[in-house]
Amino acid sequence: MADYKALQRIVLRQSHARTGKTKHFKNGTEVQEPVELRIVKYPNDSGYYLFYCDENGKEITDTYHDSLDEAKSQAEWEFNVKSYEWDIFE
């Protein structure tokens, strides 16, 4: 079981095409296009992580943000995800 709490997620659609404003790399290679984004929070950490996930929900990469709103802003900047489009994890 994960040691973080998933707060919100969105499955990316055609309207969420990558803007090209950023590129993510792992071991010197650009990572694949994510299928889903998740905002998660670790216990004892004041920040929020934006997970970029593959078709199986596995994390490809992430970014760190000081607030939930900043994580959502990053998703909007990269993929045109509007704040009202997020689903809340139950």
**What is the number of structural domains in the chain?**
1
The CA angle 83-39-1, to the nearest 5 degrees, is 150
pLDDT digits 0-9 by tens, 15-46: 898 888 999 998 999 999 999 999 999 999 99
Among residues 48, 27, 28, the alpha carbon closest in space to that of 38 is found at: 48
pLDDT digits 0-9 by tens, 55-88: 999 999 999 999 999 999 999 999 999 999 999 8
* Average pLDDT along the chain: 93
Amino acid at 11: V
Q: Which domain holds residue 47?
A: 5-88
- The pLDDT, as a whole number, for residue 90 is 64
Cβ within 8 Å of residue 12, ≥6 positions away: 34, 35, 36, 37, 79, 81
Is-above-0.75 flag for pTM? yes
